[in-house]
Amino acid sequence: MHCIKIPFHCQTQIVTYVSMSSSSPEDDEDCVVAVKFLAPQLSFCKPAGKSKPEWTNIKIESSCFYSSRVMFSKKDDMFRIPGSGGHLIGSWDPCKPSDDPKL
């Protein structure tokens, strides 16, 4: 098996999954969008809160989350990524972003 190493900056140009905390960012000022990239990065943004939305970028340390989808848990107000194999779930709080997820 051969691995092709893709430069990190190229990987952040490829979006793999997107999730929102609300079904309508126009109606919900607190709506947060999470974007998962091919790179080990998760980014958050509040599209309706300010005139120019700012992105918060999180580096995903554990490789078990690299190929998984991101989803929003309304119950816990957190974005979650299941680890490969389904034995682990990483949770990120968009209001208190951290490189270390709650497991």
pLDDT tens, residue by residue, 28-41: 778 889 999 887 88
50: containing domain = 8-92
Q: Which amino acid is at 11?
A: Q
| Residue 49 belongs to some domain of the structure | yes
Domain count, the chain: 1
Q: What is the pTM assigned to this prediction?
A: 0.78
CATH for 23: 2.40.10
Between 39 and 57, residue with greater pLDDT: 57
| Residue 28 belongs to some domain of the structure | yes
For 23, the token pair is 């079904």
**CA dist 83 to 52, 65, 90, 101, Å?**
33, 5, 7, 12
Length of the chain: 103
